[in-house]
């Protein structure tokens, strides 16, 4: 059994995006709370929360992709 390198690279890219979002989402949320009186308070806060949720989702998908690459996931189950 060998590691699927293309799938492994996809998983690492997903985790890199996760790390980026893990820094970006709290900054956006902090900016929203810092400007509570601004008319764009709610849209910025919602965008920050969506970015945070997407970071969690991409983290799970990235780890799942890496595990599938290492241990023969869905694409190699029929081999």
Chain segment 16-52, per-residue pLDDT in tens: 999 999 999 999 999 999 999 999 999 999 999 999 9
Q: Which residues contact 31 (CB under 8 A, 6 or more apart)?
A: 44, 48
Supply the DSSP symbol for 38: S
How many domains does one find in the chain? 1
Nearest partner of 4 among 75, 59, 60, judged by Cα? 75
- Domain span holding position 34: 5-76
H or E segment to which residue 43 belongs: helix 41-71
Model's pTM, two decimal places? 0.83
Does 9 score more than 50 pLDDT? yes
What's the confidence (pLDDT) of residue 78? 46
């Amino acid at each position: 059994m060998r590691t699927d390198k293309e799938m492994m690279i996809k998983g690492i890219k997903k985790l890199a995006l996760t790390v980026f979002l893990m820094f970006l989402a709290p900054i956006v949320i902090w900016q929203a709370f810092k400007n509570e009186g601004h008319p764009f308070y709610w849209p910025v806060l919602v965008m920050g929360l969506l970015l945070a949720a997407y970071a969690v989702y991409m983290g799970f998908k990235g780890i799942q992709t890496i595990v599938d690459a290492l241990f023969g996931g869905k694409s190699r189950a029929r081999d």
